Copies of this chain bind each other. A is one copy, B any other.
Amino acid sequence: MVSTEEVRRYQVDPNRKFFSANHEEIERGLTTDIYFIRALEILRFLKLDATEVTAEIFARQAGVFAGMQETFNLLKDKKIKLWSLSEGDLFQPKETVMRIQGPYNEFGVYETIILGILGSSSAWATAARECREVARGKKIICFGSRHIHPAVAPVMERAALIGGIDGASCILGAKLMGQEPQGTIPHTVIIIIGDTVKAAMAYHDCFPPDIPRVILIDTFKDEAEESIRVANALGENLLGVRLDTPSERGGVSPDLVKEVRVRLNQAGYSHVKIYVSGGVTPQRIDLLSREAVDAFGVGSYISDASPIDMTLDIKEVEGKPIAKRGRIPGKIENKKLIKLL
């Protein structure tokens, strides 16, 4: 952990490519708020740095807990006791989600880091769970990486999978959960090729059979027309079509799904599944999952979820209940907590 003196002398490498912190920088405390470094030095000055404390973390709103594993990894070698909810657990407002007990200097400076990990991961998991709950069992894949910094895209997609969705398009995100990343091809490539059917056939010729053929059908033509053209081209090999209709064409509506389904069926392609993406929210999943949608691609609703505000309070000092003004002194028990350390 850096000292205030080291902070003073620290210089950023001018050839640094990205501004995100690498793992060893996080561990060294370089992403911590400076006041935690100073706080520890004051306590050391008063010889209070090893004071035995009990800290508890809670949120002001309900949600789905995520981020436990990274927090555990960070603290596993410290001389502390640690209790926590499990990844994917539900929590209520003001419920204790994690308790850390031990000498303050073993973990105090990590407050910034722990709260940041838990607050952001829990927000993503919570948004994913909201989608899950209204999807009537339809498949949901996360496409949100393009909205956030690449350093945290895999953290986000992992948290979304913990929240209960089925797949992720970010390579590292999927791999962290032992899955294969999922996805089709983007509009850019169909535009370069110049025709959706030509792109679909190349896709089919190019990849082994275990990569599913799901074709994006709104690039150049009306979706109802293009669905049939693509189905005519790939026949039994076509797993599904993806509707990503731009808002300038009215987005994907229940009526559009209904019509594409009927037209595909009338043309003999009832095996072709319908994927929907673009501006997908729980409200829209709830609406569209009543129709013949087979899978949803969710982007910004999950990736842009506002972090859940996590608070760490010192609730005991040397075994005695204490709290700042506005908080209840002493531990708040929670039977769902599991002892990790």
A227 interfacial contact with B, CB 8 Å: no
A74 at the interface (CB under 8 A from B): yes
B326 touches A246 (CB 8 A): yes
Task: Give the docked Cα–Cα distance between A70 and B339 (Å).
Answer: 41
Question: Contact: A43 with B193, CB < 8 Å?
Answer: yes
In Å, the complex CA distance between A190 and B317 comes to 11
Could you tell me if B219 and A324 are in contact, using CB atoms closer than 8 angstroms?
Answer: yes
Nearest B-chain residue to A44, judged by Cβ? B206
Q: Is A233 an interface residue (CB 8 A)?
A: no
Separation of A317 and B190 alpha carbons in the complex (Å): 11
Could you tell me if B148 and A326 are in contact, using CB atoms closer than 8 angstroms? no
A32 to B172, CA, bound (A): 8
Number of copies: 6
Q: Which residues of B contact A12 (CB under 8 A)?
A: 172, 175-176
Establish whether residues A202 and B46, one from each chain, have CB atoms under 8 Å apart when the complex forms. Answer: yes
- Are A171 and B7 interface neighbours, CB within 8 A? yes
Taking each of A8, A151, A246, which has the highest tally of chain B beta carbons within 10 Å of its own beta carbon? A151
Asked if residues A262 and B74 are in contact (CB atoms below 8 Å), the reply is no
**Contact yes or no, B325 A246, CB < 8 A:** yes
Cβ–Cβ < 8 Å partners of A151 in chain B: 20-22, 26, 31, 149, 151-152, 155
C-alpha gap A17/B39 in the complex (Å): 26
Given known pairs A146-B112, A194-B317, the reply for A187 and B19 (CB within 8 Å) is: no
Are A222 and B219 touching (Cβ within 8 A)? Answer: no
* Contact B112 A19, beta carbon cutoff 8 Å: no
- Verify A171–B2 contact, CB threshold 8 A: yes
Query: What would 25 A/B residue contacts be, using CB atoms closer than 8 Å?
Result: A20-B155, A21-B152, A26-B150, A30-B171, A32-B170, A33-B170, A33-B186, A116-B153, A119-B148, A120-B147, A120-B148, A121-B149, A191-B322, A194-B317, A219-B324, A220-B324, A221-B225, A222-B225, A247-B250, A247-B326, A248-B250, A248-B259, A248-B327, A249-B256, A304-B307
